Structure 1
């Protein structure tokens, strides 16, 4: 698949794909006879994973480390797993904070609803 097709499938710009290559998140992209990028299905899946890491707010520095470990190979599986577990724990913590905030807001809304109900009784 050419860069145009990958860009369209993923909804990202050519510049983003080139930037990912430049900083080492994407490596070893095959080229066609004309020298144009020729992305494989495996490349597509890897870029999807990179976008997911960004979406879950993994810092770019950590994504770079993760990418480097991936390109080293299977000897780095443990390190990559640990990185994902750490990111998962951060997400769980954020979910807990959001739940606490929602509970707080619900209580405050209930107080206001009760106050409005008392005012309407007059």
Structure 2
């Protein structure tokens, strides 16, 4: 598949794919006789994994380091596993933090809902006066 086809399939720009190749995240791919890059299904799967790492907050420098280890072959399985386990632990901490924050918001929502039910004189919405209503 061409770089344009891969970009469309991945939802990325061709510029981003070239950048990833230059940065070492994507391996240089074979080229057709016309010089155009030709990607394989394995490249698509690898890019999908890279995008998952990126979506979960792994810094590009770490993704690059992971890609370099991957390119070295099966002898680097242990350090790659360590990287993924460390990243997973970071995600677990972030998920807990998000859950804690959501619980605090839920508590505040419950308090405000109770206030509105108990005191009908409490305004239901805060609205900014518009120019027209401000003149009236």
TM-score calculated relative to the size of structure 2: 0.84
Paired residues in the alignment total: 121
Which structure 2 residues correspond to residues 1-122 of structure 1 after superposition, within 5 A?
Answer: 1-120=1-120
**Long gaps (5+) in structure 1:** none
After superposition, give the CA deviation of every residue in 1:50-92 in whole Å (9 maximum; x if it has no partner): 1111111101111111000000000001111111111111111
Structure with max Cα Rg: 2
Distance 2:106 2:34 in 1: 61
**3-state SS of 1:120 partner:** coil
SS in 2 for 1:30: coil
3-state DSSP class of the match of 1:39? coil
- Give me the whole-angstrom Cα distance separating, in 2, the residues matched to 1:95 and 1:84: 16
Q: TM-score, normalised by structure 1?
A: 0.93
Instruction: Tell me by how many angstroms 1:8 deviates.
Output: 1.1
Task: Give RMSD over aligned pairs.
Answer: 1.3
Structure 2 segments unaligned to the other structure (5+ residues): 122-136
Q: Give 1:109 shift.
A: 1.4
Between Structure 1 and Structure 2, the one with more helix by share is 1
**Cα distance, 1:6 vs structure 2:** 0.6
Deviation string for 1:11-64 (max 9, x for gaps)? 111101100111111113011111110101111111111111111110111111
